[in-house]
Amino acid sequence: MAQAQQAGQSQRAAITSAGVARSTVRHWNAASATPAPAGLAAFVETPEGVVWLRQILVAAHWSISEQGGAGVRVVCDFLERSGLSAFIGASYGTQQVFQVQLEELIVTAAATLREALAQAMPHRTLSIAEDETWKDGMRLVSMDAVSNFILLEQISAERSAAAWTQALEDGLEGLNVTVVQGTSDEAKGLLAHVERDLGAHHYTDLFHLQHEVSKAMSLSLKRAEQQAETADAQAKAAWQGECAAEQASHRRRHGPGRPPAFAARIDGALNAYVQASLTHERAQAQRAEAKTLIGAFSLHSARLMRLS
C-alpha cells in the first residue's frame, strides 16, 4: 500500500489495486494498538501477510456463504469471533460488497472454464432431473442426476414443452452430451419435452411415483381399517352390554318362568367381539405393511436411478 502511494497513486487507487476495504486501511493507519499478538500484527502488515489474510477471507466466504449458504452475517460473526476483525473490516456493508465481487468472479470463471472444458470433453450420456422452482417467479431448472451439475436455471413465463426444450438447448450449448433420460413429474409439458422433443425415456420422479402408488392403496386401506375399528368398538359394546344385563338380572327378583339365556348370548357376543378384533388387527397390519412396501419401493427405485 505504501509502495503504491509512493509511486504516485492516490489512496483510493492503492486500496482498489490491493483489493482491501477502506475500513481495513483506516484500521492499519490508526494509532491505537491492535489486541492481536505483536508478531502476528507485524506479519499481516507484510505483503505475505496481506495475501494470507485475503486467502482466509476468500475461504470464509466460499465455505460459509457459497457452499454452506449461511450468509454474509455469519462471515462477519466468524471474523469477530476469530479475532481477524483486528485486521479485516468485519462490518456487514464491507463484507457484502466483497461477497458480490466474489460471486461475479465465480460466474465469470465458471463461464470461462465451461467453454474451455467443453471443447475437450468426451461424449457423455445424461440422465437429467427437471422441475420448476418459485423463489422469485418461475424458474426452469435442469441438472445432471449423476454429478448434480446444474445445466439450466432460467426465468420463464411459461412451462410448456417448447419453453423447456428451448431453455435446455441453451443450457447444453457447446457440451458434447446426449440426454437419454429425463426425470420429472407427470406434467404434460415436461412429458412432451422429454419424450417427443428429446426422444428420451421419461422416468417419473420418486415423490410423484410414490404419491400415485400411495394414493391408489391408502384410501381403500384406511377406509377398511376405519370400518373394522368401528365394528370392533360396536362388538365390544354389545358384549359389555350382555354382561351388564346379566349382572342387572341377578340383582332383581324373578317370577316364575325360564330365565333369559344370558350365557349363550354372552358367548355369542364375545365370539363376535373376538372376530371383530381380529379383523381390526388384520386391517391395521395390512395398512402398516403397505406403508413399508411403498417405502421399500421408493428405496429400490432410487437405487435403480443411481445405476441408470
- The CATH number that applies at residue 172 is 3.30.420.10
If asked whether residues 282 and 186 sit together in one domain, one would say no
Domain final residue, candidates 117, 149, 166: 117
If asked whether residues 111 and 18 sit together in one domain, one would say yes
Q: Three-state SS for 293? A: helix
- CA angle (104 as vertex; 102, 106 as ends), nearest 5: 70
pLDDT at 1: 52
If asked whether residues 281 and 180 sit together in one domain, one would say no
If asked whether residues 142 and 95 sit together in one domain, one would say no
CB atoms within 10 A of CB 34: 15
If asked whether residues 20 and 102 sit together in one domain, one would say yes
Domain final residue, candidates 204, 224, 242: 204
If asked whether residues 99 and 33 sit together in one domain, one would say yes
If asked whether residues 56 and 7 sit together in one domain, one would say yes
Q: In a structure prediction context, what are the per-residue pLDDT tens digits for the chain, which is 308 residues long? A: 556 555 666 767 766 766 666 666 666 665 445 577 888 888 988 999 999 999 999 999 999 999 998 999 999 999 999 999 999 999 999 999 999 999 999 989 988 888 888 888 899 999 999 999 887 789 999 999 888 888 999 999 999 999 999 999 999 998 999 999 998 888 899 999 999 999 999 987 766 666 666 776 777 888 889 999 999 999 999 999 989 988 888 787 776 777 778 888 899 999 999 999 999 999 999 888 888 877 776 666 556 555 44
If asked whether residues 13 and 112 sit together in one domain, one would say yes
Amino acid letter for position 22: R
If asked whether residues 106 and 30 sit together in one domain, one would say yes
CA distances from 277 to 88, 120, 126, 238, 269 (A): 72, 70, 54, 13, 12
If asked whether residues 212 and 197 sit together in one domain, one would say no
Give the range of the structural domain holding residue 147, as residue numbers without chain letter: 122-204
pLDDT at 251: 80
If asked whether residues 27 and 43 sit together in one domain, one would say yes
Domain final residue, candidates 117, 143, 177: 117
Residue 282 CB partners (closer than 8 Å, separation 6+): 228
How many domains does the chain contain in total?
A: 3
If asked whether residues 12 and 103 sit together in one domain, one would say yes
